[in-house]
Structure 1
Amino acid sequence: MAQTSDLKQSPLHDRHAALGAKFAEFGGWSMPLEYSSGVVKEHTAVRESVGIFDVSHLGKAMVTGPGAAEFINATLSNDLAKIRPGKAQYTLCCDAATGGIVDDLIAYYQDDEHVLLVPNAANTAEVVRRLAAEAPQGVRIVDHHDDYAVLAVQGTKSDEVLSRVGLPVGHEYMSFAEAEFGEPGGPAVVVCRTGYTGERGYELIAANEIAGELWDQLLAAGEEFGMLACGLGSRDTLRTEMGYPLHGQDITIDVTPNEAGLGWAVGWKKEAFWGREPLVAEKEAGPKRKLRGLIAVDRGIPRPGMGVTLVADVPLCDITSGTFSPTLKKGIGMALVPTMIHPGAELGVDVRGRREIFASTKLPFVDPSVREA
Structure 2
Amino acid sequence: MENLKKTFLYDSHLECKGEIVEFCGWALPIKYEGIIEEHEAVRNAAGIFDVSHMGEVDVIGKQAFDFVQNLVTNDVRTLEDNQVLYSMMCYPDGGVVDDLLIYKFSDEHFYLVINAANVEKDYQWMLDNKGDYEVELSNISSEVSEIAIQGPNAEKILQKLTEFDLKEIKFFHLNREVNIAGVKCLVSRTGYTGEDGFEIYTNNEDIKIIWDKLLEAGKDDGLKPAGLGARDTLRFEASLPLYGHEISQDISPLEAGLSFFVKLDTDDFIGKDALVKQKEEGLKRVLRGFEMIDRGIAREGFEVFAEEKKIGFVTTGYYSPTLKKNIGLALIDIEYADMGRELEIAIRNKHKKAKIINKRFYKKNYKK
TM-score grouping bracket, smaller chain normalisation: over 0.9
Deviation of 1:23 after TM superposition, in Å, equals 1.4
Contact 2:180/2:210, CA 8 A, preserved across alignment: no
Deviation of 1:178 after TM superposition, in Å, equals 1.7
Give the SS at the match of 1:315. Answer: strand
Q: Which segments of 5 or more consecutive residues in structure 2 lack a partner in the other structure?
A: none
| Residue number among 264, 269, 291 corresponding to 2:265 in the alignment | 269
The residue aligned with 1:238 is 234
Instruction: Give, as a single letter, the amino acid of the residue that structure 2 aligns with 1:275.
Output: G
Give the SS at the match of 1:268. Answer: coil
The residue aligned with 1:349 is 345
Give the SS at the match of 1:260. Answer: coil
| Residue number among 271, 280, 283 corresponding to 1:284 in the alignment | 280
Deviation of 1:371 after TM superposition, in Å, equals 2.3
Which aligned runs of 4 or more in structure 1 are off by greater than 3 angstroms? none
TM-score by structure 2 length? 0.96
Structure 1 residues 131-140 or 355-364, which shifts more? 131-140
| Residue number among 327, 331, 334 corresponding to 1:339 in the alignment | 334
Q: Does residue 108 of the first structure (1) align with residue 103 of the second (2)?
A: yes
Contact 2:313/2:330, CA 8 A, preserved across alignment: yes
2:165, 2:253 → 1: CA distance? 34
Q: Which segments of 5 or more consecutive residues in structure 1 lack a partner in the other structure?
A: none
Within 5 A, what are the aligned runs for 1:191-206? 191-206=187-202
Contact 2:301/2:313, CA 8 A, preserved across alignment: yes
Give the SS at the match of 2:366. Answer: helix
The residue aligned with 1:13 is 10
The residue aligned with 1:29 is 26
Give the SS at the match of 1:77. Answer: coil
Instruction: Give, as a single letter, the amino acid of the residue that structure 2 aligns with 1:179.
Output: E
Give the SS at the match of 1:210. Answer: helix
Q: Deviations over 1:120-170 (max 9, x none)?
A: 011111211111122235311100111111111000001101100105412
The number of residue pairs the alignment matches comes to 364
Structure 1 residues 218-227 or 135-144, which shifts more? 135-144
Within 5 A, what are the aligned runs for 1:58-207? 58-96=54-92, 98-135=93-130, 136-166=132-162, 168-170=165-167, 171-181=169-179, 187-207=183-203
Give the SS at the match of 2:250. Answer: coil
Q: Deviations over 1:260-317 (max 9, x none)?
A: 1111111212221010101001011111111111112243211111111113x32111
Structure 1 residues 117-126 or 161-170, which shifts more? 161-170
TM-score by structure 1 length? 0.94
1:284, 1:180 → 2: CA distance? 46
The residue aligned with 1:320 is 315
1:19, 1:274 → 2: CA distance? 44
Contact 1:168/1:179, CA 8 A, preserved across alignment: no
2:312, 2:10 → 1: CA distance? 38
Give the SS at the match of 1:291. Answer: strand
Within 5 A, what are the aligned runs for 1:41-52? 41-52=37-48
